[in-house]
Amino acid sequence: MSLAALVAASTFIGCKPKKMGHIAVDSDAAQQVYVAPGQYDEYYNFVSGGFSGQVSVYGLPSGRLLKVIPVFSQNGENGYGYDENTKPMLNTSFGFVPWDDSHHTQLSETDAMYDGRWLFINANNTPRIARIDLKTFRTAEIIELPNTGGNHASPFITCNTEYLVAGTRFSVPADYEDGDVPIDKYKEKFRGHISYIKVDQKTGGLSLDFQLSLPPFNYDLSHSGKNASADWSFFTCYNTEEAHSLLEVNASQNDKDYILAVNWKKAAEHARKGDFTIEKAKYAHNVFDESTLQAKSEILDQVKVIDTKKFNDFLYLIPCPKSPHGVDVDPTGEYIVGNGKLSANLPVFSFSKIMKAIEQKQFEGKVDGINVIKYEAALHGEVQSPGLGSLHTEFDAEGNAYTSFFISSEIVKWNLKSLKIEDRIPTYYSVGHLSVLGADTKKPYGKYMVAYNKITKDCFLPTGPELCQAAQLYDISGGKMKLILEFPLIGEPHYASAIAASQVKPNVLLFTKLEDNHNPYKIKSAQEARVERHGKRVDVYIAAIRSRLVPDNIEGINVGDEVYLHVTNIEQEWDIPHGFAVKGANNAELLVMPGETCTLKWIPNRAGIIPYYCTDFCSALHQEMQGYFRVSPAGKSTPIKFTIDDKLPSQFNATKPTTQSGAAKTGHNRK
Ligand code: RUQ
Ligand code: CUA
C-alpha cells in the first residue's frame, strides 16, 4: 500500500459491523473470567490513566476496578493534591500543576523479573516520573525532568532497576540556553534530551544522574535490553526530518527514521569520568514521607549533560522504516522490534547482528557525529504485510510476538525466529497498546493478553458524547488468541503492567500503627483534641473515631482566620477510614486512613454556624459523626471553646460490624 493510501486509511477509525452480536466469544469464556465473591483475582493490573494522569488498578482476569491511584492529578476521591499533606507532590518548577497526562507504567525488576516493590509512570505534559510504593499503593515520589518537552519515551527501566530512562518527544531549546528564538531556527537551536534517572536500590529514591544532548528528533518510545543486551537502551525516533511544522506531512518524508541504541553503562562511565558539562536547570523533586505522612518539595538547580556531538562512542542509530512508535525487546534480549506506524512491513532487528555491525564498522554515515548502522547489517528480518499502523509488540515465553495494529484494528501473532504470521484477531476498536502479561520480563506469564482500545463506540451502553475506553482480555494459552472479556476503563489506557497478586499482596500495608505515625499534628487519643490560636492561624486537632469527631463544638474562630484542621483517625483496624468535610471549604475535604493524620486548610469567609461531619459511612452511627464551628466576624474576640467528653474511651467503640474486611481476610486466592 502506498504511503498516501496508508495515511488516508489512518483517518478511518474502526470500521465496525453494526451489531456486537458478531463477536464470537466461547461459551466457557464467562467461567474463565469469573472470580466468585470472596475470591481474589490472580493478577494486579496497573493501567495508565492517560489524560486522567492517574493509574487504575484492575484485577485480572475479572477486569474489576480495585482502585485509582492518584499520581499526577488532584483526586476528589481521597484528597490527593488537595490536602496539605499531598499538595507538594504536584509542585513543579512551573508551580502547582493539578492535572497531567500519564502514559507508561513500569514495574521494578530484579534480574529482569518483577520484584513487586515499585511501579513507575511518566507525566507526559509537564515532564515528570513518579514512583508508586506497592506496599501502600500511594505515590511516594515525583521527579521533574528539565530540558524536556513531552516526556513520552518514559519511563523505561533497566533490568535491575538501575535506571529509568526518559526521552523527550518534543525537541526544544535546552532550558539552559536562551529559548527565546524563532521557531524556524529549529535545526540549529533545538535539541533532544534523554534522561537517565538513577533508582536507589534500597529505598527506590530517584535522582537525575545525567542527560544526553542529542539531535532534534522526536524520541517516542523506549525499552531496555535483557541478558546480552542488558546494558543497552533503545529509543524510537521519528521526525528525523527535523521538521517543525505540519509534522503529519513534513515528518513523514524519510523512508526510514531511526532506532537509537545507547549503551547506558558506557554513558554512565562518561558521566563518572566527568565528560559532561554542568548545566543550570530548574526541576522539582517531591517526596512523600511515609513516617510523617507529609510530602516535601524541593527545587533542584543543575544537571550533568553529555554532549553526544563530542562523546559518541556509546550510541548508534539504526534505520527503521517510517515513523516508528514502539520499540520492543523480546524476553531473550536478542530481538528488537521497530513498529513503523506507516510501514507496510515490520522490521525485527537482531542484537547480536548489531554488535557485529559495530565491530565490523558497517556504517552508512553519521548524524551529528553518531554512527548510523546499515539497515541490513542490523536486521534479523521483516514480517511481511502483517497489518496496518503497527504500534506496539509484546511477547510470550514461547518465542511468539503479538503486534497491535491501530489502523486495521487487530492484533497479529507471529513467530520471532521464522517471522511467519500465526494468528490474527480483531479488536473493538483501534487498539493502541497491548500487554501480554509479564512481557517485559525475561519470563512472561504468557496466559493472558490485554488490548487497550482507543475507540469503543457501541461496545457499551451510550453515555452521551463522552465514552469510556475499553480493555479486551484474551486467553493466549492455547495457541490461538481467544477474546474472553471486555471491560471499561478510566481515562485513556496507554501502557499497563500486570503482576502476580502473590508477589504484592503479602506486603500490602493494612493500616498505619499510631506509634508509627510521626506527623507533627497527630494526636494519640480523643483526650488530646484541642484548638490553638497563634495570631491569625488556628490549629484544630481533631480525633476521628467511631462514631465521633472530637471536639464537636468549636467556638472562637473568626472570618479570615487560617484554620488548619488536623484530623487523626485513631482507629487501629483495616478498612475504617473517616472522612471530614466542613461547609463552604473551597479547596477540599479529607479522607483519613486508620492511624493517619491529614490536614485541611480552611479560611472561613462568612460568620455563622458552620457544620462539619464525617463523609465516609463508617459505622451505624456515622450520621452522628458531626460538629459545629461558630464563626464570628473578623475582629470579634469570641473566646476559644470546644467540647471533649471526658468519659470517652481512649480506644474505639466499634459499632460497625466488620464483616466485609473479615470476609476479605478469610477469602482464598483462586490459585
Ligand atoms: S503511546 S498507543 Cu503514549 Cu505508549 Cu502508544
Ligand atoms: Cu467516620 Cu463516618
Average pLDDT over residues 633-658: 69
**DSSP code of 31?**
H
Edge-to-edge strand list for the sheet holding 153-157: 102-110, 113-123, 128-133, 138-144, 277-289, 294-307, 206-214, 192-199, 163-167, 153-157
Q: Where are the beta strands (DSSP E) in 70-205?
A: 91-92, 95-96, 102-110, 113-123, 128-133, 138-144, 153-157, 163-167, 192-199
pLDDT exceeds cutoff 80 at 194: yes
State the pLDDT at residue 27.
Answer: 82
State the SS3 of 591-605: EECCCCEEEEEECCC
Query: Residue 38 in 3-state DSSP?
Result: coil
pLDDT, tens digit (0-9, with 9 covering 90-100), for 538-560: 999 999 999 999 999 999 999 99
Choose between 26 and 37: higher pLDDT.
37
Helix (H) or strand (E) holding 416: none
**Ramachandran angles phi, psi of 256, nearest 5°:** -135, 140
Q: Is the pLDDT reported for residue 650 higher than 90?
A: no
pLDDT on residue 186: 96
Going by alpha carbons, the residue nearest to atom 1 of ligand 1 is 494
Instruction: Give the pLDDT band (50/70/90) at residue 23.
Output: confident
- Three-state DSSP state, 269: helix
Minimal-distance CA residue to ligand 2 atom 1: 578
- In the predicted model, is pLDDT for residue 252 greater than 70? yes
Cβ 139 vs Cβ 288: under 8 Å: yes
Amino acid 542: pLDDT: 98
- Whether the pLDDT of residue 268 is over 70: the answer is yes
Output the residue whose Cα is nearest ligand 1's atom 4.
494
Ligand nearest to the CA of 389: 1
pLDDT band at 671 (very low <50, low <70, confident <90, very high): very low
**Per-residue confidence (pLDDT) for residue 667, from 0 to 100:** 37
Within 6 Å (CB) of ligand 1, which residues are found? Answer: 103-104, 152, 325, 391-392, 432-433, 494-495
Ligand 2 center to residue 544 CA distance, Å?
Answer: 8
549 CA closest ligand 2 atom index: 1
pLDDT band at 647 (very low <50, low <70, confident <90, very high): low
Cα of 578 from ligand 2 centre, angstroms: 5
Per-residue pLDDT, averaged over 647-661, amounts to 42
pLDDT surpasses 90 at 261: yes
Residue count of the chain, please give it: 671
Q: Summarize pLDDT for 563-606 with one digit per residue, the tens.
A: 999 999 999 999 999 999 999 999 999 999 999 999 999 999 99
Percent over 70 (pLDDT), the chain: 93
Alpha carbon distance 239, 522 (integer Å):
54
**Residue 248 DSSP label:** H
pLDDT above 60 (res 525): yes
From the CB of 548, is ligand 2 less than 6 Å away? no
Contact in structure between 345 and 385 (CB atoms under 8 Å): yes
**Rounded (10°) CA dihedral 48, 50, 52, 58:** -30
What does 570-638 look like in DSSP terms, one character per residue?
---STT--EEEEETT-SS--EEE-TT-EEEEEE---S-EEEEEE--S--STTGGG-EEEEEEEPTT--P
Rounded distance from Cα 494 to ligand 1 centre (Å): 5
pLDDT given for residue 646 in this prediction: 58
3-state secondary structure of 112: coil
Give the model's pLDDT for residue 645: 77
The answer to whether residue 499 scores a pLDDT higher than 50 is yes
Q: What is the pLDDT at residue 21?
A: 53
Average pLDDT of 184-205? Answer: 97
pLDDT given for residue 239 in this prediction:
94
Residue 549 Cβ inside 6 Å of ligand 2? The answer reads: no
Pick from 528, 471, 534, 533: nearest CA to 646: 528
CA 129, 139, 142, 589: dihedral to nearest 10 degrees?
A: 120
According to DSSP, the residues that pair with 470 across neighbouring strands are 453, 488
Q: How confident is the model at residue 25 (pLDDT cuts 50, 70, 90)?
A: confident
Once rounded to an integer, what is the mean pLDDT over residues 345-362?
98
Backbone φ, ψ for residue 622 (5° rounding) = -55, -40
Average predicted confidence (pLDDT) for the chain: 93
Least distant ligand from the CA of 594: 2
d(CA 70, CA 99): 10
Distance between CA 366 and CA 240 in Å, rounded? 13
CB 191 less than 6 A from any atom of ligand 2:
no
- Alpha-carbon separation of residue 114 from 104, 271, 395, 439, 441 (angstroms): 16, 28, 16, 11, 7
SS3 188: helix
